[in-house]
A and B are shown apart, each in its own frame.
Chain A
């Protein structure tokens, strides 16, 4: 089976940089996704990694290391609106999306 771990909660200051980690145990997967979910709203797609390395999209970057079973989401120049839950998900071979428990990020002024 798959097991995905993320920190439950994180706190950071407006304007700072925060790194949200995701570790997983799965025998193989197609890709790793990151989603943002504000309270009471739908998850929205942030980024997608297939190959090892860093994918950058504006203030958001995502990194993947398949050999280490590890990914992170990096948020730069934090804004208050970035307060949300961040979900890591993998797509194991022959299976559908498996989501982690999510990390609730609070951005303080």
Chain B
């Protein structure tokens, strides 16, 4: 069975541009969460979606937005990119909308801002 898949794997952008990152959860998983991981730190929570509704939002500016589609895949959008947005963006899925469920991570998208 396929795990969580993310695209693209790597991306280079310049300041001020926007980016869209994509995530397909494990088949049957309805919850998708997005995280930002800066080198040497743990993942920081950005958004969680369940059944196409936003269920949680971390401490990130409004430049960050996301959505979930009827097939439970998800997109993370970041506008007006800053140098500090350079990071690994991880998507994770779980079967239920419960904080007692382990999250299964994709390999991430490494975003570099020049």
Give A residues with C-beta under 8 Å from B.
4, 30-31, 33, 35, 41-45, 48, 50, 87, 89, 91-92, 95-102
Decide if the interface of chain B is mainly helix, strand, loop or mixed.
Answer: loop
In angstroms, Cα B99 to Cα A97, docked, is 7
In angstroms, Cα B79 to Cα A31, docked, is 34
Query: Is B108 among interface residues, defined by CB-CB distance under 8 A?
Result: yes
Query: Is B44 among interface residues, defined by CB-CB distance under 8 A?
Result: yes
In angstroms, Cα B100 to Cα A42, docked, is 20
B43 touches A43 (CB 8 A): yes
In angstroms, Cα B15 to Cα A31, docked, is 39
Inter-chain CB contacts under 8 Å: number: 58
Decide if the interface of chain A is mainly helix, strand, loop or mixed.
Answer: strand
Query: Is B102 among interface residues, defined by CB-CB distance under 8 A?
Result: yes
A97 touches B108 (CB 8 A): no
CB of B49 to closest CB in A, whole Å = 11
B105 touches A102 (CB 8 A): no
Provide a sorted-by-A list of 18 A–B residue pairs whose CB atoms are within 8 angstroms: A41-B107, A42-B4, A42-B90, A42-B107, A43-B43, A48-B102, A50-B100, A91-B99, A96-B48, A96-B55, A96-B58, A96-B99, A97-B33, A97-B35, A97-B45, A99-B43, A101-B41, A101-B42
CB of A87 to closest CB in B, whole Å = 5
B45 touches A42 (CB 8 A): no
CB of A62 to closest CB in B, whole Å = 12
A99 touches B42 (CB 8 A): yes
B106 touches A100 (CB 8 A): no
By a CB distance below 8 angstroms, the chain A residues around B13 are none
A43 touches B105 (CB 8 A): yes
Partner of B100, one of A91, A92, A101: A91
Instruction: Indicate with 1 or 0, residue by residue over B89-108, a CB within 8 angstroms of chain A CB atoms.
Output: 01000000001101111111
Closest A residue to B46 using CB positions:
A96
